[in-house]
Amino acid sequence: MKHVPTSRWRSGALGLAALLLLTVDGSLKAQQALTLDDLERMALAHNPTVAEAQADIRASEGRATQAKLYPNPVVGYEGREITGGPVYRGGEHGFFVQEPIVTGGKLRLSQKVFAAEADQARSVAAAQRDRVLNAVRLAYYEALGAQQQVELRSDLADLAHRAALTSARLANVGQTDQPDVLEAKVEAGRADLELLAARSDRERAWQELAATVGDPALPMGALAGKLDDPLPQLDRDQALFALLNGSPEVRAANQGVTRAEAALKRARAEKLPDIELRGGLAYNRELLDNNHAVGWEGEAAVGVQIPIFNRNQGNVQAAEAELAHARQELERVKLALRASFAAVFRDYAEAAETVRHYHDQILPDAQQAHDLYLRKYQEMAAAYPQVLIAQRTLFQLREEYTRALVSEQQAAVVLQGYLLAGGLAAPIAPGEPASVSPGIEVRPAGLP
């Protein structure tokens, strides 16, 4: 069996791997390319956090409905002086109806609390929707950049292999030296390895994109779109104004203040006692002097709790503290957005300036240098390694330009998306059944 040199075997293996990657890349291009709109629709349909946020809205609306329901009456049996004997003859037996009369507008105030909570839940859901869409856009541009890097490195690998083949042919006719041939082969091998790395990075970016849209089994395919599509120029002051006035997080914090104010009013109304009404009928079997039973007797009672010791003062104090907390939370959200905005806008401005420099100056100069070296080499006025260096420099600059485009697009997405990110982070429910506002109870309808 003929021995194959290790270096030749590795070169052949890398070449075969590059060929397979080029074949796969070609098949991906042949598939229907997914657009950003396609991915956004998929995410809104399948991302679980969107459904979670909608469920939180329904839960808050359910608590608002429950809070306004009037207590159900209690109907029961009542017996008295139940004993035997010729006089009492089993005592009195009858029924009663008992109903609390809620005073002070407590049901209306309770409904206001949970209606404000439902509004807050809607703002949280809107914020979560924006988070999901932003996450999809960020992952889309990351994957689109990785796709473009694969295309660049595929072109570089193809060019490097053709250059190595050309160098070998020139060496056979004595028009180039052996070191130039070896240099071209080394460059082709490096290009194959870089293509493998780009392919791996593309798979990683696709997996993240698939998870974000809620379909981890989404088969990898081509993405439609261009990284260098023009972006609207963002002005710092206008972007900050739009953030502070349109952010769903600010809106939710404002609604948290409204909810806390309603909860304080409700807690203060709790000291007004409800009125308990009770009425009933009972048949008295006790015998009178004329040897006849007493018969039917009516019963009526009215009661009210006197707020001497418990005037709900503890819950009022807690509600006042919650209101103070909600107001400070609103200020905290605004300050946090300002702080985050400063860093993101800096990244956007730097990326935009980098893209402009690459597009207007760096890439044209690098392309011209490569073309000049190639022309000189063809005229036998320059060595081939100089062409390889210029070629590699040009492709590296194109890759850096691609990364700058990705950074610019992603920073613009975050700025225009109210700085919301984390499409798989669980939405925060504005209220929970076990921790509603002080002094407010969501009671089952059958209990007084």
CATH code of 203's domain? 1.20.1600.10
Q: What is the pTM of this model?
A: 0.78
Check residues 311 and 12 and name the one with the higher pLDDT: 311
Q: How far is residue 310's CA from residue 316's CA, in Å, rounded to a whole number? A: 11
Are the C-beta atoms of residues 427 and 54 closer than 8 Å to each other?
no
Question: Is 209 inside any structural domain?
Answer: yes
Q: How far is CA 134 from CA 130, 407, 416, in A?
A: 6, 14, 9
Q: What is the pLDDT of residues 177-227, one digit of tens each?
A: 777 778 878 888 988 999 999 999 999 999 999 999 999 999 999 999 999
- Mean of per-residue pLDDT scores for the chain: 85
Q: Give me the pLDDT at residue 176, please.
A: 64
pLDDT for residue 29 is more than 70: no
Q: Give me the pLDDT at residue 262, please.
A: 95
pLDDT for residue 412 is more than 80: yes
Q: Going edge to edge, which strands form the sheet with 293-304?
A: 74-80, 92-101, 275-287, 293-304
Question: Is 24 inside any structural domain?
Answer: no
Question: Is 441 inside any structural domain?
Answer: no
Closest to 94 (Cα-Cα) out of 284, 281, 285, 293: 281
Question: Is 407 inside any structural domain?
Answer: yes
Helices 36-46 + 48-67 axis angle, to 10? 50
Question: Is 221 inside any structural domain?
Answer: yes
pLDDT for residue 317 is more than 80: yes
Q: How far is CA 79 from CA 25, 198, 320, in A?
A: 87, 86, 47
pLDDT for residue 165 is more than 90: no
pLDDT for residue 381 is more than 80: no
Expressed as residue numbers, the domain containing 195 is 46-416
Q: Over pLDDT 70: what percentage of the chain? A: 87
Q: Over pLDDT 90: what percentage of the chain? A: 65
Most confident of the following: 194-198, 229-233, 372-376: 194-198
Question: Is 119 inside any structural domain?
Answer: yes
Asked which of 38-42, 170-174, 289-293, 338-342 is least confident by mean pLDDT, the reply is 170-174
Check residues 200 and 439 and name the one with the higher pLDDT: 200
What is the mean pLDDT of the segment spanning 162-175?
76
Q: How far is residue 314's CA from residue 52's CA, in Å, rounded to a whole number? A: 34
Question: Is 445 inside any structural domain?
Answer: no
Check residues 187 and 308 and name the one with the higher pLDDT: 308
Quick one: pLDDT band at residue 87, thresholds 50, 70, 90?
low
Question: Is 129 inside any structural domain?
Answer: yes
Query: Which strand (E) or helix (H) includes residue 323?
Result: helix 313-357
Quick one: pLDDT band at residue 21, thresholds 50, 70, 90?
very low
pLDDT for residue 237 is more than 50: yes
Structural domain tally of the chain? 1
pLDDT for residue 23 is more than 60: no
pLDDT for residue 6 is more than 60: no
Most confident of the following: 176-185, 281-290, 310-319: 310-319
Q: How far is residue 210's CA from residue 139's CA, in Å, rounded to a whole number? A: 9
